[in-house]
Chains A and B, each alone.
Chain A
Amino acid sequence: MALKGNLKDFTITQLLNLVNLARKTGTLVIEGSGDIARLIFRDGKLAYAQYGQEENALASILQRSNKINATQYRILKERAANMTDKELGLLLVNAGYLTQADIIESLQVYCADVVRRLFTWVDGFFHFDGEGELPEDRILVRIDLENLIVEGSRQLRELEQLQEEIPSLDMALKFTDRPGTNIRNVNLSVQEWRVVSHVNPKNTMRQIARFAKMNDLEIRRVVYSLLQAGLVEVVRPDGAPPAPQARMFPTTDRGEQKLLVNRLISRIRSL
């Protein structure tokens, strides 16, 4: 029976824990809001990772980890286009370009990084298939899951805390009007700038996240640091459809409403 569900109910960390403890072999496919990731495990260890459409052939991973330079990468892409990763790896080692350890290390770093990126996914369908085929042409690694599980739980805790600090992404942000704060004098990261450039009472945090291509964890992280620095405050979005207000008062007449509040005030004073 295939294992499937939603990350809302069963987190990535819990999934890794299950794979680790049960020493599972198989393929875990996760469909997030924008991307699909595929992880392959053998005997409870991570063997392979694919993130969305991201290029994960050996040559591009080696370039990313600076084991080969851009020119070498281009040459390999042209000349070794028909080679499998296994063939290419063997060629590079035999030619004395790289050691086997270099290659394995680059692949391990890449796969672990894919898993780390998945930790920020809090919503999405997953599906574990124990029958799936191994990609014959790829070099498989063996990564112990324990360290990743610890890292993942740490991130999860962070997300929970941030959700407590910023419970609703449907609220908007505005710059605080405290005298003396000038956003231009603050050192912001690229991500923070991207958020700052959309700060406007008209944009909800959810919209900003979409503009800035961030997920829930990332937007909360940035907003939290801006809040801590006192640069922005959380406000209700302008122009949002008014909440069902009519029912606050039994009357819609403004004058009567005021009168009603004044009646409440004198009653409470007399208690």
Chain B
Amino acid sequence: MQTVKIVVTGPFNSGKTEFIRAVSEIDVVSTERKISSDVERVKDSTTVAMDFGRITVDEDLVLYLFGTPGQKRFDFMWEILSEGMLGFIVMVDSTRPETFREARSILETFRAYAPTPYVVAANKQDRADAWDLEDMRVALRLDGKVKLLPCVATNRETVKGVLLELLYSILAEMEAGQA
């Protein structure tokens, strides 16, 4: 059995667990624990270990999706998780500009780990207070070449769209590398 992995990262509460849940064929294995500190009381439980989803491709190929714990105090795990990944997705909550800076920082951190392709998912685009993509691109200081994709993690089609764009980038990179 062959396995490959894609990492889903982003700030706390950006929708990583939801994203993986939308496409995983197993219940997302995440070690969730009640968090009671004030800062993190946005929702009542948060991922402290990591999310873990699976998509079986065929008899001998499985794709694993790993969600990273968002909080800085777990960032020692990021490098381990990023080892050998095909690429990564940075989830950003489009309704919370106060997290953009952190998203940017997470992106830069992962970029430093490995030269793999990545895409940025502007999540929660279904919400009325979501920022427009063009504005997010500026706020996140994303170069025109970086894919910034609209996403609603609770909607499987948009999640598929994000994963596909990442895979297209991976393929494009391989073709460019071979030329």
Residues of A in contact with B (beta carbons under 8 Å apart): 164-168, 170-171, 227, 233-234, 236, 242-245, 247-251, 254, 257-258, 260-265, 267-269, 271
| Cα distance, A250 to B64, chains bound together (Å) | 13
Hey, which chain B residues are within 8 Å of A234, CB to CB? Answer: 108, 111
Q: Please give the residue numbers on chain B whose beta carbons come within 8 Å of chain A beta carbons, in ascending order.
A: 2-4, 23, 55, 57-58, 61, 63, 83-86, 101-102, 104-105, 108-109, 111-116, 141, 143, 156, 160, 163-164, 167-168, 170-171, 174-175, 178
Query: Is the Cβ of A171 less than 8 Å from the Cβ of B156?
Result: no
| Nearest neighbor of A164 in chain B, beta-carbon distance | B105
Q: Report 21 cross-chain contacts, Cβ distance below 8 Å, ordered by A residue.
A: A164-B102, A165-B104, A170-B112, A171-B111, A233-B143, A243-B115, A244-B83, A248-B4, A248-B85, A248-B116, A250-B2, A257-B174, A258-B171, A261-B170, A261-B171, A265-B164, A265-B167, A265-B168, A267-B57, A267-B63, A271-B160
Given contacts A236-B115, A271-B160, contact A264 B63 (CB under 8 A): yes
5 smallest beta-carbon distances between A and B, as pairs? A168-B112, A247-B84, A250-B2, A164-B105, A267-B57
Count of A-B residue pairs with CB < 8 Å: 89
Q: Is the CB of A167 within 8 A of B108?
A: yes
In the complex where A243-B113, A244-B83, A265-B164 touch, is A166 in contact with B108 (Cβ < 8 A)? Answer: yes
Are A268 and B58 also in contact (CB < 8 A) when A248-B84, A261-B170, A261-B174 are?
A: no
Q: Name B112's contact: one of A171, A257, A261 (CB within 8 Å).
A: A171
Known contacts A167-B105, A250-B4, A261-B174, A267 near B58 by CB under 8 Å: yes
**In the complex, A137 Cα to B2 Cα: how many Å?**
75
Min CB–CB distance B78 → chain A (angstroms): 10
**Bound-complex Cα distance A183 to B113 (A):** 30
Whether the pair A167, B109 counts as a contact (CB closer than 8 A) is yes
A233 to B141, CA, bound (A): 10
